[in-house]
Structure 1
């Protein structure tokens, strides 16, 4: 232990600087208290009601309008509130209520599905957080056009997704406390759905956001492992295996080892197995890219925006969150999460453009750019997953290419498969989960483009289309007979502006998508 100048003592390691606090979740605004009930809360200083029609009020809003002698309807007209889906109108001191939030639910598509309800919950969280840090709110669930059995559970889920703040390094912490009382006729069923299922998905999303937001100084490969292992402590039917540098080299994972050569922080392969079905049932394999910080290596990135490369581990973070959610609700399926972890740094030991790496599969890769490193660590990880666990399906997820972001912006993640029918199935998974994907092609010519004159393949420099080229590198290491899904989340994992279910910054994208895939596969 070495004393560091300043007010505090810290533990200084040869692999980086980390304190216990930096690997423990500390998001003051990540939790709210939810109560599902059939009766109103007399202590509530805030009421939330829904409006499908701004001219003809019904349900709780109509009752409040009557109590205000029509004042609410007058205010709705005065503020040009049209009740369109997700629109909000915040009123104070009306109908005996300190704070009244009206949320529009008029949806052109007709009935509200689960993601719609979750978006409404997120809208409420965003609106209430902007107006008050401490409150006690009643949300009246009485007039929603939906076939979902427990709409209040999904509204609470969306609220919890949005109710997140990473303020660990701020002097002034978020200190607000919120109690959310969801008034609904099926309170018991809604409470069970939220507390034994959806809450765990929200916690998995928050875990992914934590990991992607933490500064790279503190979230190197071994710190990632410690943080995730702490999160899984006490979770049933979980086995955790950590491959260190000795194991990685022994298995011949030259690509994973090579990416980490330039860093003082050795790479790791974190494997988390959840057994919720028979031991002999083939698992679903989820593989996530975990570059804990990406400088580009010798092919150094420009300084502009490099700070955001602390989130280049978002794929691995999402895998951790998805496996956590499945295990906590005790889903009836076997799932194995693989998280190859490395820090891509330039040094005298770093790999160079022109070097050749030998992979576990035996396929050699010529390095054209050390900044095309994600596909390298995935190459060894997906091969290991197939060799050791014989999965029935494999999905890999990664912040892989700017090409995917340029093609699809932040509206969709790119999905690439060998089978277009599987891509369409993944689009349906995206629709149900609220995390949408759009197919990009994988053509035989893409495999021709990555052939190397001195090795079996090259990792980049093959021209356009960049997202498909990156997928082709990974696909080289996946059995052609295995159902395989490649998700490129480079455009959706980190946003400069918040949305309905997430503040700006890390979205924890992929946890909800993979969670829905797990549910579908379990059926």
Structure 2
């Protein structure tokens, strides 16, 4: 048995250029033919054990007895670690439960992430994963590896971390198909990791100018990048963006990055890029709040990460990312509560709260995307309101839109990848709260903060189909989870990448069929 299943012969491997910080490697092959420290086997709740054709009857009997003794029933996410039987050349076997229903891609990712968390505590370096005979096994293997990689990310810019690379070998029926799926997912990971790196960086290192520098690096992938400085912003009458940034020595910028993979009218993504948010004169009340405000540019990082994901995989889509960037600081030049700024739209805004600054810079960003690029549709992404966190917590992103197709498509993509959306009200009653006595409107209301903010943004989208994603609470994790360690999550890159590649490259696609 040992010589047949695990003979040390040459293994056809698939190597990828974009790897997580540990530089894990992933191999897809028709069978496992070498020794491993850990073997991973999958079982559903009906008792089906995948990859069992390569295991002896004696081994299967031993596994069944051990699983029964440990009350392992194959429930979704259930993990059981066992000592490997003598006839398998491995130290241990890990059983992974699949549950009793078809799993979404995000749920498969979470299984891979959970395995990575377990293996992080073990000395295993070579892991064999049996996926033969599993329905849609090639897709499963790629998504499982995707989850491992998302969990394996580590941010090491400011400290030395001992990294122990692991090597994953998937026994799969069609290695070429699995490898192709995985390559596309690694393109998405490159965008997720860029967003995480940028959001994890300190505000002293990640400010409008350094963000622009990171964006310019995408030119080598074929991305068109344009940087609009203060002079150009003044020429465009972007008084809202300029006003928010006027309190800082670091000038505000507008960064535009376009991946033009087709000649269609573009899809516009607009990301909030407050690289540090002191709150201005409405300063953040507590140290526990303000210390996290380096992450107030996570929306812009998500947009740039999505552009990178499309470029790396050469997606046949025209997508433009518009990222208004500013530091919201306190100084003798900073906006004061009660000041009035003029937006590029031509609407004046009374600033009743300087800590409601994200919607101001997005107003000019949305106007620019709409008027300069005339997109098919727009989606903005922002860590916009604390009230969104109070309403939905950390599990769901707030979705605001009055466009049925966008609502349906984005919700489906969020459910599929596990970055779930919950629709919140977008109603003109909230716009009434934005009426000002001295300007066209003011930037805050009295009641439902997330919906009032969304109605403020709605003023600047014109007739363009539009959705607003409030990712406050989703951009950082303080405890870590199956798909991200403590810190930035890169939330939204996977959602938008799925939406773009699944729906926008097939504009007539039926959501139910996807």
Normalising by structure 2, we get a TM-score of 0.90
Counterparts of 1:372-451 in structure 2, within 5 Å, are 372-420=356-404, 422-451=406-435
Match of 1:198 among 177, 182, 185: 185
Q: 1:517 aligns with which of 476, 493, 499?
A: 499
Indicate conservation of the 8 Å contact 2:366/2:460, yes or no: yes
Distance 1:333 1:115 in 2: 23
2:150 aligned with 1:157: no
RMSD: 2.0
Residue 283, structure 1, aligned to residue 272, structure 2: no
1:141 aligns to 2:141 (yes or no): no
Alignment deviations for residues 135-160 of structure 1 (CA, whole Å, 9 cap, x no partner): 0111111354x557522111111221
1:180 equivalent in alignment to 2:171: no
Counting only pairs closer than 5 Å after superposition, residues 219-238 of structure 1 correspond to structure 2 as: 219-230=206-217, 232-236=218-222, 238=223
In structure 2, what is the Cα distance between the partners aligned to 1:41 and 1:240? 47
Q: How much does 1:84 deviate?
A: 0.9
Of residues 323, 327, 341 in structure 1, which corresponds to 2:311? 327
Contact kept in structure 1, 2:131 and 2:137, CA below 8 Å: no
CA displacement, residues 325-365 of structure 1 (integer Å, 9 cap, x when unaligned): 11111111110001111111111111010000011111111
Matches within 5 A, 1:45-444: 45-53=37-45, 56=47, 58-60=49-51, 64=55, 66-68=57-59, 70-95=61-86, 96=88, 97-107=90-100, 110-132=101-123, 135-142=125-132, 144=134, 146-147=135-136, 150-170=139-159, 172-195=160-183, 197-230=184-217, 232-236=218-222, 238-278=223-263, 281-302=264-285, 303-420=287-404, 422-444=406-428
* Displacement of 1:449: 1.0
Following the alignment from structure 2 to structure 1, what is the Cα–Cα distance between the partners of residues 292 and 179? 38
Distance 2:279 2:182 in 1: 42
How far did 1:67 drift? Answer: 4.4
Q: Distance in 2 between matches of 1:148 and 1:60?
A: 11
Structure 1, gaps ≥5 residues long: 1-25
Looking at structure 1, the residues matched to 489 and 153 of structure 2 have their Cα atoms a distance apart, in angstroms, of: 10
Contact 1:31 1:160 in 2 (8 A): no
Query: What is the SS of the residue equivalent to 2:407?
Result: helix
Q: Is the 8 A contact 1:113 1:148 kept in 2?
A: no
Give the drift of 1:27.
Answer: 9.3
**Which of the numbers 453, 476, 480 marks the counterpart of 2:459?**
476
SS class of match (1:305): helix
Corresponding position: 1:499 with 2:486? no
Distance 1:191 1:475 in 2: 42
Mapped partners of 1:90, 1:484: distance in 2: 48
| Alpha-carbon distance in structure 2 between the residues aligned to 1:72 and 1:332 | 47
Contact 1:288 1:319 in 2 (8 A): yes
Structure 2 residue matching 1:449: 3-state secondary structure = helix
In the TM superposition, residue 174 of structure 1 has moved relative to its aligned partner by: 2.9
In 2: Cα distance, 1:373 partner to 1:163 partner: 34
Is the CA contact 1:65–1:71 (under 8 Å) kept in the aligned structure 2? no
The residue number in structure 1 matching 2:5 is none
Cα distance in 1 between the residues matched to 2:234 and 2:304: 24
SS in structure 2 opposite 1:249? helix
Taking structure 1 as reference, are residues 143 and 407 closer, same or farther at Cα in structure 2, changes over 3 Å only?
farther
- Report deviation, 1:61: 5.2
Distance in 1 (CA, whole Å) between partners of 2:212 and 2:23 is: 24
Whole-Å Cα distance in 2 between the matches of residues 426 and 69 of structure 1? Answer: 43
CA separation of 1:347 and 1:466: change in aligned 2, threshold 3 A:
same
- Partner of 1:120: helix, strand, or coil? helix
Give the whole-Å Cα distance in 1 for the aligned partners of 2:436 and 2:45: 63
Structure 1 residues 491, 206: closer, same or farther in 2, change over 3 A? same
By how many angstroms is 1:57 displaced? 5.6
Q: CA deviation at 1:296?
A: 0.6
Match of 1:29 in 2: 21
Paired residue secondary structure (2:221) = coil
The 1:357/1:148 distance shift into structure 2, 3 A limit, reads farther
CA drift of 1:426 comes to 2.3
Displacement after TM superposition at 1:167 (Å) = 2.4
CA–CA separation in structure 1 for the residues paired with 2:340 and 2:499: 36
TM-score, normalised on structure 1? 0.88
- 1:212–1:506: 8 Å Cα contact kept in structure 2? yes
- Deviation for aligned residue 1:507: 1.2
Partner residue in 2 for 1:4:
none
CA contact (8 A) 2:22 2:165 kept: no
Gap regions ≥5 residues in structure 2 = 1-17, 507-514
Secondary structure class of the residue paired with 2:379: strand
> Does the aligned pair in 2 maintain the 1:114–1:148 contact within 8 Å?
no
